[in-house]
Structure 1
Amino acid sequence: MADHHPAEESLIEKITEKFHGHDSSSSSDSDEERSEPSDIKAKIYRLFGREQPVHKVLGGGKPADLFLWRDKKVSAAILGGVTAIWVIFELVGYHLLTLVCHSLIVSLAVLFLWSYTTTCMHKSPPHIPEVSIPEDLTVNIVLSLRYEINRGLAVLREIALGRDLKKFLAIIAGLWVLSVLGSCCNFLTLFYIVFIALHTVPVLYEKYEDKVDSFVEKAEAEIKKQYVVFDAKVLSKIPRGPLKAKKF
């Protein structure tokens, strides 16, 4: 094979460098184009500063599916059952112990008569399955409850240490609202209201997420603007005494 001339080799190297430079520039352009949408997404306002979808915020899994109506039959059945319990106890005036006793009386009477009649007719008695609470389920429920209680106690401790004024004011306002609701209705009605809110607010927010976030962003900007005006006209004019030097 014939040897290549040095001039031809230098020309080929220049051409390949131009091609590689074009490829690298195009790849960098594409990388910049890919990074732009992510930057735009990062700048989008989300309620409470969340970065995850609503399903992840609710914990994911079956509880989130239940609140977001992923399985409409199951969600409707549970909501209907809770509504029936609230109607029985609040509107009808039934008591819990009375309801439990009457339900057991009816169930045991029906099963006993069924078994007795089949035995008298020389037939095999009905198969009544054994009901028992699994140990794993009980342990998981207790551990989850323990984790949530410990997390709540840790939050209360951080607030009591005076490290976060906004969180302190939010907790105080929330407890005050709960105290007002508790004076207006009993615990069962309050639990029912919270249950209805969990079954309606998340699914409606997920459906109208962009509109709600846009409205809240405008409202927050307006509140900050009014606070600046209030601070300039009222808070800044409040006389304050001179700070005394601390003695060490």
Structure 2
Amino acid sequence: MSSILLSPPHIPQVQIPEKLVLQIASVITLEINRAFVILREIASGKDLKQFLSVIAGLWVVSILGKWYNFLTLVYIAVVLLFTLPVFYEKYDDQVDAVAEKALIEIKKQYAVFDAKVMSKIPRGQLKDKKF
């Protein structure tokens, strides 16, 4: 089109302000550091229930990763993100009742697991460390 009009096209100059970039980098750095703190707390094993739930979640993700490729998992996640809120709004009473029953059953199973397995693991005495 410029060859027809014999004038060079005007392309505007685009600049991102340095202050904005530094603010975004600062926010991202804070969030990454917060995630590292959470990961360190989980990996330390202080909260055993959270530690075991993370292990179980990673185990489920690894099984799903064996069955499906990445794009299929992304597609399933997107479909679920769009359909589950609508499903919950429509059937919230029934979903809450089933979730409450499932939570009670999970707590029973965890109590049995704690009594049979976790209580038999020897634990060392904790010594108070002076810093």
Indicate yes or no: 2:4 matched with 1:117. yes
Counterparts of residues 133-152 of structure 1 (less than 5 Å): 133-135=16-18, 137-152=20-35
C-alpha displacement of 1:201: 3.2
Q: Could you tell me which amino acid in structure 2 is paired with residue 116 of structure 1? A: S
C-alpha displacement of 1:189: 4.2
C-alpha displacement of 1:188: 4.4
Q: Could you tell me which amino acid in structure 2 is paired with residue 143 of structure 1? A: S
Larger Rg: 1
Unaligned runs of 5+ in 1: 1-113
Which secondary structure state, in structure 2, belongs to the residue aligned with residue 166 of structure 1?
helix
- C-alpha separation in 2, matches of 1:162 and 1:192: 34
Residue among 83, 91, 101 paired with 1:218: 101
Q: Which residue does the alignment assign to 2:39?
A: 156
Q: Which has the higher contact order (CA 8 A, sep 6+)?
A: 1
> Structure 1 139/166 Cα, relative in aligned 2: closer, same or farther at 3 Å?
same
Q: Deviations over 1:39-73 (max 9, x none)?
A: xxxxxxxxxxxxxxxxxxxxxxxxxxxxxxxxxxx
Unaligned runs of 5+ in 2: none
Counterparts of residues 67-216 of structure 1 (less than 5 Å): 114-119=1-6, 128-135=11-18, 137-206=20-89, 208-216=91-99
- C-alpha separation in 2, matches of 1:133 and 1:192: 33
TM-score (norm 1): 0.37
TM-score (norm 2): 0.60
Q: Deviations over 1:203-232 (max 9, x none)?
A: 54355444422321122123334556x56x
> Structure 1 118/189 Cα, relative in aligned 2: closer, same or farther at 3 Å?
farther
Q: Deviations over 1:62-111 (max 9, x none)?
A: xxxxxxxxxxxxxxxxxxxxxxxxxxxxxxxxxxxxxxxxxxxxxxxxxx
- C-alpha separation in 2, matches of 1:189 and 1:141: 32
Residue among 235, 240, 248 paired with 2:116: 235
Q: Deviations over 1:176-214 (max 9, x none)?
A: 222333334444444444344434434543554444223
Q: Could you tell me which amino acid in structure 2 is paired with residue 145 of structure 1? A: I
Q: How large is the RMSD of aligned CA atoms in angstroms? A: 3.8
> Structure 1 161/212 Cα, relative in aligned 2: closer, same or farther at 3 Å?
same
Which secondary structure state, in structure 1, belongs to the residue aligned with residue 45 of structure 2?
coil
